[in-house]
Amino acid sequence: MLVDLEIEPTKRSCTGRGQQERSWSNIIRLASSGLSHVPYFGMSDICTINRQLSETRTRVEIVTSLWQEAAIFVNNNFVVHDFLNSDETFQEMVMIAHACLMRITNDALIDSDKKPPPYSVQKAARHARQLHDLSHAMDLYLQLIVQAPREADSWRELATCLRDIDKDWANVCIDKSIILNPRHPLSLLSKSCMIFEEDPNAAEPFFLALLAFYPFWTAIWAAASAYFLHKEMFHMSDQIMEQMRKTQAEGLAKEPRFPRTWEQELGEWWEETPLLPGTSVYYDAADLLLRLRGIDLAEICIAKALLENGDSAVYYHMVALCCRLKGNYADALCHLQEGIDKYGEISYLRSLQGECYHRTKEYNLSLASFEKSGSCKSAYTTLLSLPRRDGGRTRSILTDLVRRHPSAYAWMAFADEWMTRSAVGEGGDANVTEEQRSALANAESCAFTALEYDRRAARAWALLATCLTPSTRRNYCREMAILCGFTKNLDDRPKTYSRESRESLCFRIGRPLRECRCKMCEHIAL
């Protein structure tokens, strides 16, 4: 068949996914990007890598895709008739094809590795917001607005950030965003949620505009249905859902490109709720509304989903998330515990429970919940769940974190870990052994990398102000730290993380205790 196709005057082209060298390079980059998001990829623990890959479809999908694309590339770039006369020529064709594939693969991977992390005020602001540093995020968003005052997306993201700080100023910012771009769906939905909390009747024009402008976005239609259900316009609500189901049946449903992931506008600090196929569309609408802080309307969507499909782990997670965003930590913990008792140890339930315990300053219970949650996907929960007494495991987790979710905060956590290692190494005092000096140099390198992601990272400037030489550089870093809002007195900061030794209760009484109650041992699990 291939020989007959080669005789034809038209250029042979395979019907598979991609035929050109560019397509093969794109597949390599996608595979590299996909593997970088697998937990513990690149670590020395090969058993952990195999276990993580075997539990997901990533390994099968990547291997299958690479073999198919390689076969298509070989089929379209070599004339089969010239290589099928004997086994030797066929072997030669395979070797040449393999060399070509490896050359393209090597070029693609080297090009992707050489690209430095681009500095972006918008990315730094999103990192700060998704890691709960709201004041710093607000400063960065204001800087972004000063640079581009007519950018509607920046005003909307600032409004979302201000929803947790000052609702009045958030209302002003979302009004500015709508003036600059009156038809943006997220701006209209955010504004409708703000008005709904104060005067539900006044929000109706915004929901009607969303239905008119975006007839194929099912989550918007579900939110509008919940709104009319709250107004007791039951016929209108049923008509909206009937039209939405008809749109889905005809295959016309299409969601705009707004990823709900890290470094994106709709990314958040909590563990993402897995919305599997077949899940009620009301849960999808509630997830979108919670990311825009439309909590009241999200609660109506969750209640409607409960009536349709009954309770589930997703239901308990979203209800607890609503309570957590309102500041009702006790109610959130109650819902989470009920969900865990009913559905078992689910990672996103345990991680949210650990965050709530951390907010209530129950640190021991928080660490216990994070231990039971397993591996965390969110950057915020990963930083909260770092083990306190296991330096090797902490460095392993941080290495994985800066690979999957790089940010100034992750690199500064890495720098703090290296500073601790430089102070409490085997040599006793800090900066005595070569290992301790190397750890200090690694901490400085981590601080420099953090500044590549956020030029206004005050903690990075403060750390460099205590480590760099000569004094001119230290003075410059000290001034930058103060300019970026570092509140502590830099002159009082120790140049190392070493502390004077203290005797524990176990040492003073001369015998080890089965369960020591002193403050130094309260976090040690015996």
pLDDT tens column, 235-273: 999 999 999 999 888 888 887 788 888 888 998 998 888
Mean pLDDT computed over 138-142: 93
Residue with tokens 């999808």: 284
Segment 136-155 shows an average pLDDT of: 92
Tell me which residue of 386, 388, 382 sits closest to 407, measured CA to CA.
Answer: 382
Highest mean pLDDT among 82-86, 89-93, 432-436: 432-436
Q: Is the pLDDT of residue 336 over 70?
A: yes
Domains of the chain: 22-110 (no CATH), 121-385 (1.25.40.10), 391-422+435-493+500-525 (no CATH)
pLDDT for 52 beyond 80: no
- Give the pLDDT score at 80: 56
Q: Which of 378, 114, 433 is nearest to 268 (CA)?
A: 378
pLDDT digits 0-9 by tens, 146-177: 998 999 999 999 999 999 888 899 999 999 99
Residue of 255 and 57 predicted with greater confidence: 255
Q: What is the mean pLDDT of residues 110-123?
A: 62
Query: Going by C-beta distance under 8 Å and a sequence separation of 6 or more, which residues neighbour residue 517?
Result: 505
DSSP string, 224-236: HHHHHHHTT-HHH
pLDDT score recorded for residue 13: 47
What pLDDT does residue 295 have?
93
**pTM score over 0.75:** no
What's residue 355's pLDDT?
93
Q: Which residue has the higher pLDDT, 10 or 34?
A: 34
Q: Which one has a higher pLDDT value, 382 or 71? A: 382
Instruction: For 204-240, give one letter per residue: b (16+ CB within 10 A) or e.
Output: bebbebbbeebeebbbbbbbbbbbbbbeeeeeebeeb
pLDDT beyond 80 at 319: yes
> Does the pLDDT at position 125 exceed 90?
yes
C-alpha 526/C-alpha 515 separation (Å) is 7
- C-alpha to C-alpha distance for 299 and 323, rounded to whole angstroms: 10
| Confidence at residue 500, expressed as pLDDT on a 0 to 100 scale | 45
Using pLDDT thresholds of 50, 70 and 90, give the confidence band for residue 91.
low
CA angle 209–212–214, rounded 5-degree value: 100
Residue 498 has pLDDT above 50, yes or no: no
Q: How many other β-carbons are positioned within 10 Å of the β-carbon of residue 248?
A: 14
pLDDT of residue 15: 41
* 101 has a pLDDT exceeding 80: no
pLDDT of residue 438: 86
Report how far residue 122's alpha carbon sits from residue 10's, in angstroms, rounded to the nearest whole number. Answer: 49
pLDDT score at 93: 65
Instruction: Please give the Cα distance from 265 to 284 (Å, whole number).
Output: 17
Q: Can you list the pairs that 497-504 forms with residues at least 24 positions away whose Cβ atoms lie under 8 Å?
A: 497/416, 497/419, 497/420, 497/422, 497/423, 497/424, 497/430, 498/423, 498/424, 498/429, 498/430, 499/423
Return the SS3 of 523: coil
| Average pLDDT over every residue of 126-150 | 92
Is the pLDDT at 499 greater than 70, yes or no? no
Q: What is the DSSP letter of 280?
A: -
Distances (CA, A) of 359 to 324, 325, 380: 10, 12, 13
Q: How confident is the model at residue 191 (pLDDT cuts 50, 70, 90)?
A: very high
Confidence label for 41 from pLDDT (cuts 50, 70 and 90): very low
SS3 38: coil
Most confident of 78-87, 350-359, 423-432: 350-359
384/252 Cα distance (integer angstroms): 42
